């Protein structure tokens, strides 16, 4: 259908798209609903590689708890912070990637774990690392004739965690967010809402890598310096939600705390 109607807009849960239509920011002539495409609504784990595939239409409610949450606790933590139960029942990972806001809660988790985004069209398929998929604020590398099939990312094999700061405790878009993962013994940190897209912090990651003890434990001093480096690598701006100064501070505090906590495998 998409190849026959190249300008058509795809609809998953509609929790972003319907808001844009209601505010007259988008006026699509053709809308293709993805809700009844079973391949998009399933997730699976490849026992031999330890990789998890999550279909683009899997809603947040399926990530919050249960078997998927056990494989990816940081994703579960991020999913629990999204909107309200109604939004989490409808909203999907594919929609978060489709909108590609730097505040999208699933995106720091995908970034920290180096997820791969699978795109399909009538012409074939391609796999794009999530860092290359997110090209700017609300801009992604999807071609108009492509559907996001899903993402592949490794199941947890160290500790991981996600946290966000907003102006309220619930139903809030983040002012700053961070996902920390110790994966394959390597620390990774990805930040949301403090740059044009989700950011990784190579200098902070390299510092922490050199300051982990053999059990992956981070001392108070190392965690503090890690937070400072993360703040330094963030690229926040002032906008209607917060100031750059506050965001820079907040994201450093989140990183410092996450580096010492998190759910363990
Ligand atoms: C009240 C409210 C609260 C919210 N709170 C949060 C929050 O706390 N955190 C957060 O991150 N987001 C939040 N959102 C935004 C939204 O819920 C998420 O971005 C959600 O992930 C969007 O998913 P969806 O399935 O509803 O996407 P849709 O609205 O259906 O689609 C969004 C975009 O992605 C495209 N798209 C969807 N699926 C695909 C696909 N498979 N292939 C290609 N393109 C696709 C669509 O064409 C559209 O451009 C909130 C929204 C509302 C209304």
Across the chain, mean pLDDT equals: 96
Q: Hey, what domains does the chain have and what are their CATH numbers?
A: 9-34+42-154 (3.30.465.10), 160-260 (3.30.390.50)
For residue 28 and ligand 1, the question of a CB distance below 6 A is answered with no
Rounded Cα–Cα distance for residues 231 and 236 (Å): 9
Rounded Cα–Cα distance for residues 188 and 167 (Å): 26
Q: Distance, CA 100 to ligand 1 centroid (Å)?
A: 9
Pocket probe for ligand 1: among 13, 21, 28, 91, the residue whose CB has the most ligand atoms within 8 Å is: 91
What's the Rg (C-alpha) of the chain? Answer: 18
For residue 55 and ligand 1, the question of a CB distance below 6 A is answered with no
At residue 264, does pLDDT exceed 80? no
For residue 192 and ligand 1, the question of a CB distance below 6 A is answered with no
**Please, which contacts does 209-216 make with residues 24 or more away whose CB atoms are closer than 8 Å?**
212/182, 212/185, 212/187, 216/158, 216/159, 216/182, 216/185
- pLDDT tens across 77-123, in order? 999 999 999 999 999 999 999 999 999 999 999 999 999 999 999 99
At residue 69, does pLDDT exceed 90? yes
What pLDDT sits at residue 214? 87
C-beta atoms surrounding 87 within 10 Å: 16
What pLDDT sits at residue 7? 87
What pLDDT sits at residue 225? 98
What pLDDT sits at residue 169? 85
For residue 87 and ligand 1, the question of a CB distance below 6 A is answered with yes
Residue bearing the CA closest to ligand 1, atom 47:
10
Q: What is the mean pLDDT of residues 215-234?
A: 96
| Residue that the structure tokens 């100064």 belong to | 245
- pLDDT tens across 152-196, in order? 999 999 999 999 999 988 889 999 999 999 999 999 999 999 999
At residue 261, does pLDDT exceed 90? no
What pLDDT sits at residue 263? 79
Q: Kindly state the tokens that stand for 203.
A: 């200098």
For residue 237 and ligand 1, the question of a CB distance below 6 A is answered with no
What's the burial of 123, exposed, middle or buried (CB within 10 Å: 0-12/13-18/19+)?
Answer: exposed
Residue 74 neighbours by CB under 8 Å, 6+ apart: 109, 112, 113, 156, 160, 161, 162, 179, 180, 181, 262, 263
Rounded Cα–Cα distance for residues 83 and 150 (Å): 22
Pocket probe for ligand 1: among 87, 148, 150, 192, the residue whose CB has the most ligand atoms within 8 Å is: 87
| Whole-Å CA distances, 261 to 66, 72, 149, 183, 217 | 21, 15, 33, 14, 9
What pLDDT sits at residue 6? 82
Percentage of the chain modeled with pLDDT above 90: 93
What pLDDT sits at residue 265? 62
Q: What is the mean pLDDT of residues 51-68?
A: 97
What pLDDT sits at residue 101? 98
| Residue that the structure tokens 């026959």 belong to | 4
Contact call for residues 217 and 229 (beta carbons, < 8 A): no
């Amino acid at each position: 259908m998409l190849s026959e109607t190249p300008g058509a807009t795809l609809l998953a849960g509609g929790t972003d798209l319907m808001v844009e239509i209601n505010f007259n920011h988008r006026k699509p002539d053709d809308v293709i609903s993805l809700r009844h495409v079973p391949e998009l609504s399933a997730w699976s784990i490849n026992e031999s590689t330890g990789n998890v595939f999550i279909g683009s239409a899997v809603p947040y409610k399926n990530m919050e708890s249960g078997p998927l949450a056990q494989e990816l606790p940081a994703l579960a933590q991020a999913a629990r912070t999204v909107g309200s139960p109604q939004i989490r029942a409808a909203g999907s990972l594919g929609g978060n990637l489709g909108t590609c806001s730097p505040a999208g809660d699933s995106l720091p988790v995908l970034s920290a774990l180096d997820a791969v985004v699978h795109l399909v069209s009538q012409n074939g398929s391609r796999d794009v690392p999530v860092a290359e998929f997110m090209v700017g604020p609300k801009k992604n590398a999807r071609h108009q004739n492509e559907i996001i099939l899903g993402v592949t990312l490794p199941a947890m094999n160290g500790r991981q965690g996600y946290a966000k700061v907003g102006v309220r405790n619930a139903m809030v878009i983040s002012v700053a967010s961070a996902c920390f993962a110790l994966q394959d013994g390597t620390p990774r940190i990805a930040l949301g809402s403090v740059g044009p897209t989700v950011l990784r912090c190579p200098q902070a990651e390299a510092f922490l890598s050199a300051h982990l003890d053999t059990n992956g434990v981070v001392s108070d001093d190392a965690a503090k310096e890690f937070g400072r480096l993360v703040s330094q690598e963030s690229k926040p701006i002032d906008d209607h939600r917060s100031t750059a100064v506050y965001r820079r501070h907040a994201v450093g505090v989140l990183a410092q705390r996450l580096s010492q906590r998190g759910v363990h495998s």
